[in-house]
Amino acid sequence: MESAEIVRRFLRFFEERGHTVVPSASLVAEDPTLLLVNAGMVPFKPYFLGQQKPPYKRAASAQKVIRTLDIDEVGKTTRHASFFQMLGNFSFGDYFKEQAIPFAWELLTNPVAAGGFGFPEEKMWVTVYLDDDEAIEIWKRAGVPAERIQRRDLADNYWHMGVPGPGGPCSEIYFDRGPEYGREGGPVADETRYLEVWNNVFMQYTLGTVRSKIDFDVVGELPAKSVDTGMGLERMAAILQGVDNIYEIDTTYKILSRAAELTGTRYGADGRNDVSLRVIADHLRAGVMLVGDGVLPSNEGRGYVLRRMLRRAIRNLRLLGSGEERYMHELTATTIGTMGEQYHDLIADAAQIHGVIDAEEASFLGTLRTGTTIFDTAVSATKKAGARVLAGDKAFQLHDTYGFPIDLTLEMAAEQGLQVDEEGFKRLMAEQKANAKADAKAKKTGNADISVFGELLEKAGKVEFLGYDHLTTDTEIAGIIVDGSPVPVAGAGTTVEVVLLRTPFYAEGGGQLADQGVIKVENGEIEVVDVQSPIAGLVVHRGKVTSGEVTVGDAAHAAIDIDRRRSISRSHTATHLVHRGFRNALGETAAQAGSENSPGRFRFDFTSAGAVPVSVLRDVEDEVNATLIDDLKVNVLHTSQAEARKMGALALFGEKYGDVVRIVEVGDYSRELCGGTHVASSGQLGLIKVLGESSIGAGVRRVEALVGLDAFRHLARESVLVSQLSGALKARPEELPERVDGIVTRLRNAEKELEKLRSAQVLAVAGELASGASDIQGVSVVTHRAPAGTTPDDLRKLALDVRGRFPGDRAAVVVVAGVPSDRPVVVAAVNEAGRDRGLKAGRLVGVAAKALGGGGGGKDDVAQGGGTNAGAVDDALRAVIEAINSSL
């Protein structure tokens, strides 16, 4: 039975039983606690937690899943994989163990002709959580003999995601593959012979801190008991297709066998080659699915997971003898063809997927050529010295200079019988991060390997920047990069990175945002949206070919967006002035710690022990605006660092400067080292308006401000607003703060008085409720629905007040329910005499909360719970009456 048919059969079975078939969600998890979807239930997590109301009570899906914890074991065994698919049926408070277990048994053991999978009942075993007697009884009723049901502990039969979220006990189903696969004794004896094919997770609890598989905190019960089935498609396919492992099933083996064919190897002939073939097959599946979901290779987060897998696959192709041949395109096509029957978007997006993976292959093959030589030299020297550990600085050099991930170095070293000084590597990495702006570097290099830029710089030479004096220039296309790889030509619609021989475009740096504009050639045009300098001397223009095509060697005309440049230049000059103003006000310790100069707006970060008083902000603003009125001339000069220091020019801490530095002066008021663009005189700024300041970290403050027309428009809007408020409150502008403060104070006092009145009104009925109590078999029972909006605290006070009005020797139960907002709440209180009769508040709340579609509990004397169904309050109270009757 092919994988696609297994999926169809599974989904059809549950659809016929009232389940909504839900398509697989993207591998990119919406859950911020997850990097990637790592379980079939992840898309439904908000429903299990009660954060969202599910649009259906039952669902079934075939969900794509990525797990990376065992990535280093992929290929070494036939059990580990990074990508797989989970078939799941889910109940969101609809059914629980009583139906979930029979559903599983029926689908597995029904004949193929009847829509099942045809597993022989005598070959099936079951495990349950240690104390789950209920599940055991249900399995027995389903027809499983007691001797084939085994109890297991937290490590085996309790499920959670490894992070805070839903969890609960589970019951697993195993298939006995026969004595040739291992020893007798069931799953507890041998999980190679007894292969898990199904796992019913009984979602019952919300978990807090999760320290390990068996060490976690249970916060409470989920709003509703639910079911999450995990059934690995690959493992099911291995059994139904009669193969030994998941690498030999239809979808994976097609990729594996194609890789063997391309490299001239044969699966099963050599253990080491088999490992490589399994790595290739698994990582190609994972890589194609990730790219299909929009993930691109990068050096962090999801992008790093993708890059690591693709590069492991590429390197294992090399180990199989691929040499300089590029086989990823062919293997990607095989993977798309294999998986496309289930995921049609892969076929539609094939061109994009090929482009991303081809570019990564080209980039990494270049890295491998250089890095492998360096690695081999380091290994040879290490062995020659009689050492068994590769030095941390060698691993760092491979990572930092040649783009070798540390994981690859560790893997290659292990193959040579060596270890790696990981602590030394980590120390060097930490030093690098402390001395470099890692986030800026990541942005500048984008998805391209740094070696690509190095090759372009070597070919085209240092790019001449003309932007200080020219807003347009005639130039030439020196290089084009698409998806991280150099290309000779790019057509309309292509996102490109372009290098020019000379350019007027300013590359982002020194806090100044990049220029935007257009690059025109005879047969095409590029819209430039960003400009970066990934390595010294190179300017890379990022954008899209909007018409025609662009070819390396084309004569070009580059023109920046003049209005944007002028607006940003005003912001940059304003930053220098504000910097000087704060130093004058707070002292020279107010050093710049960062900035961003945007069109019409800027932010300025500086060191300060504490918050800056409003009066200081006003003084700095006044001082800076005075320099605008004076219309000070802006001068630029070049000199040595030593001479610049003598002149008192400010240099930014952490920035690196060359031997010759550029100084920007604003009259005698400000003098800084700066490579950015500026106005000709301070009067061109027009106006600066400081919006406020805030903390962005220990000892660092941030000021945000507007400049030029943006500042004027802001003040104009404020003037209109103040005028409107003055009219509405009949107060002069200077009286507004005091007048508004008085109104707010009176409003808060009124709200407090209303709350007191509302609480008194709720409690006023306590005597009436007690006197009107019902008698149920000698127990005074009060059930009451409080008015809408009654707070949970008032519900609790009312329940306790009513309970206290009964004599101590009279058994009494008080249950009060209400809807404080959208969600119903119920409180139960039982006096000592009532508890002696066997009545417990916690149990009664549980009964009511279940009717409300939720949960709750507490002590025997008083308990509180809630739910999601505000229309079931009366039903909940009736359920409590029935529970009391049945308990007495």
Residue 825 tokens read as: 């709440």
Does the annotation flag 283 for ligand binding? no
d(CA 380, CA 390): 10
Q: Which amino acid is at 741?
A: D
H/E stretch holding 206 = strand 194-210
Contacts of 721 (CB under 8 A, 6+ apart): none
Nearest Cα neighbor of 686 from 564, 565, 561, 573 is: 573
Contacts of 120 (CB under 8 A, 6+ apart): 109
d(CA 860, CA 354): 64
Helices (H), 350-503: 350-384, 392-402, 406-415, 422-435, 438-445, 450-460
Contacts of 382 (CB under 8 A, 6+ apart): 388, 389, 390, 391, 418
- Strands 149-152 and 124-129, bridge-based pairing: parallel
Does the annotation flag 674 for ligand binding? yes
Does the annotation flag 572 for ligand binding? yes
Strand order in the sheet with 774-776: 774-776, 779-785, 812-818, 825-830, 862-866, 855-858
Burial of 580 (0-12, 13-18, 19+ CB in 10 A): buried
* Structure-derived torsion over alpha carbons of residues 676, 682, 687, 692, reported in degrees to the nearest 10: 50
Find the angle CA(10)-CA(226)-CA(108) to the nearest 5 degrees: 25
Q: How far is CA 414 from CA 379, 400, 411, 442, in A?
A: 11, 20, 5, 29
Q: How far is CA 628 from CA 509, 592, 622, 685, 709, in A?
A: 25, 21, 10, 7, 14
- The owner of tokens 């409470």 is 220
Q: How far apart are the first and last CA of the chain?
A: 57
Residue 83 tokens read as: 């990508």
Contacts of 852 (CB under 8 A, 6+ apart): 824, 826, 865, 866, 867, 868, 869, 872, 873, 876
Nearest Cα neighbor of 546 from 520, 564, 565 is: 520
Residue 445: CB atoms within 10 Å: 20
Contact 229, 201 (CB under 8 A): yes
Does the annotation flag 576 for ligand binding? yes
SS3 at position 364: helix
- The owner of tokens 């607003």 is 721
Contacts of 867 (CB under 8 A, 6+ apart): 223, 823, 824, 849, 850, 851, 852, 853, 854, 855, 876
d(CA 782, CA 784): 6
Q: Which amino acid is at 461?
A: G
Contacts of 565 (CB under 8 A, 6+ apart): 471, 506, 515, 677
H/E stretch holding 141 = helix 133-142
Find the angle CA(79)-CA(80)-CA(85) to the nearest 5 degrees: 95
Nearest Cα neighbor of 283 from 261, 246, 248, 255 is: 255
Bind-site residues:
572, 576, 674, 678
Bind-site residues for Zn(2+):
572, 576, 674, 678
